Amino acid sequence: MFRIDGAEIVLVRLPLQFRFETSFGVQTEKLVPLLVLHGDGVQGLSEGTMEAAPMYREETIAGALNLLREVFLPRVLGQTFANPEAVDAALGSFRGNRMARAMVEMAAWDLWARTLGVPLGTLLGGNKQEVEVGVSLGIQADEAATVDVVRRHVEQGYRRIKLKIKPGWDVQPVRAVREAFPDIRLTVDANSAYTLADSGRLAALDAFDLTYIEQPLAWDDLVDHAELQRRLRTPLCLDESVASAQDARKGLALGAGRVINIKVARVGGHAEARRVHDVAESFGAPVWCGGMLESGVGRAHNIHLSTLPDFRLPGDTSSASRYWATDVVNEPLEATNGLMPVPEGPGIGVTLNRDFIGGVSELHEEYRA
């Protein structure tokens, strides 16, 4: 049992150390909403992965923070819960807004794991000491630059290279990288930039032995993905289209994809992420843990989730030092040879660097039961 006595909402702006271009546009900094839940002498941490604008999915930081203040925090503050699943259930009657709900749910998992003194991964049912990771590389200026950036990351030992693609920038970079690196595990991510009318172009990618093509079609579509999958040999991987275990079941049953990218915040938290994991496992489909350019708080959550058994493909959770000159947590989260150690210690195993955060936060609100 744990009681949620108070909460802090913090909004931090961090400069990104690389230019991240996707089919959405270019990103050079990250706005990171953090939630701290206070319990009996213990704190639980989480990070929101929605952005200022609703580009990836429909949620926004402004919308999420208002929902936290007006709906979700009032629902849990001063309440006692048997376990984090009870927090998930308490928020389960609200529709959508899963990234906002996940902020509360994920912080509750961390709070509970710290109360019990166990690592979050262990509490979720995971059993790995380290997890395999790859990198997600943004669209580069040209093919030579693409091969260069891939080479740097292959040399660091990352277990999978994912290239962002968009119409007009797909077959060329993939061909260049595959010719330079015949044996690497290579994938692409279109972030919903194509339609079924592009299926010929996408079928041309079948020549390059990609492990999967991630989310080529619309964020809210499963039916066209199923039609596209029938036209391709390469497996499709669903990202944006899976907001729940029900979505995962429907997508896999329809044949809309054969692999699922699980982002814990996108599906509403760890309890739902585990249900997505279990659905995928029942279909024999591998999952992997996606990233949203998280700070150390979200990154640590991702690593713990990735310890579950059906995370059989390398995740996006690469070294924090790739992204940030200074992270919001004190502990380094660094992969060696493509293996990310699971942070030790209770909960997510990282602590907030309050001094640093104080200097870069744009908002700091406190709530009591």
Interacting residue ranges for Mg ion, rule: CB under 5 A: 189, 214, 239
Q: Is residue 295 close enough to count as binding ligand OSB by CB under 6 A?
A: no
In the complex, what is the shortest distance from the CB of residue 137 to Mg ion, in angstroms, rounded to a whole number? 12
Three-state SS letters, 83-145: CHHHHHHHHCCCCCCHHHHHHHHHHHHHHHHHHHCCEHHHHHCCCCCEEEECEEECCCCCHHH
In the complex, what is the shortest distance from the CB of residue 214 to Mg ion, in angstroms, rounded to a whole number? 5
Binding string, residues 147-186; x marks residues near ligand OSB by CB under 6 A: ----------------------------------------
Q: Which is nearer to Mg ion, 56 or 109 (CB)?
A: 56
Q: Is residue 191 close enough to count as binding ligand OSB by CB under 6 A?
A: yes
Q: Among residues 105, 189, 272, 327, which is the contact residue for ligand OSB, using CB under 6 A?
A: 189
Q: Is residue 105 close enough to count as binding ligand OSB by CB under 6 A?
A: no
Give the span between the Cα atoms of 160 and 188, in whole angstroms: 11
In the complex, what is the shortest distance from the CB of residue 298 to ligand OSB, in angstroms, rounded to a whole number? 9
Q: What is the largest CA-CA distance in the chain?
A: 60
Clarify whether 164 is annotated catalytic: yes
**Nearest residue relative to Mg ion (C-beta):** 239
Q: Among residues 44, 268, 290, 296, which is the contact residue for ligand OSB, using CB under 6 A?
A: 290
| Number of shown-chain residues binding ligand OSB (CB under 6 A) | 10
- The DSSP bridge pattern shows strands 161-164 and 135-137 to be parallel
Amino acid type, 166: K
Q: Give me the catalytic one of 30, 128, 162, 164.
A: 164
Give the span between the Cα atoms of 311 and 61, in whole angstroms: 29
For the record, the structure tokens of 112 come out as 């509970």
Of 77-85, 152-160, 204-212, 289-297: span binding ligand OSB (CB under 6 A): 289-297
Q: Among residues 184, 252, 292, 348, which is the contact residue for ligand OSB, using CB under 6 A?
A: 292
- What are the beta bridge partners of residue 366? 8
In the complex, what is the shortest distance from the CB of residue 132 to ligand OSB, in angstroms, rounded to a whole number? 15
The alpha helices in the chain, defined as continuous H runs, are 61-67, 73-76, 84-91, 98-116, 120-124, 143-155, 171-180, 199-203, 223-231, 245-254, 270-282, 296-305, 320-323, 354-360
Catalytic residues: 164, 263
| Contacts to ligand OSB by CB under 6 A | 56, 136, 189, 191, 239, 290-293, 316
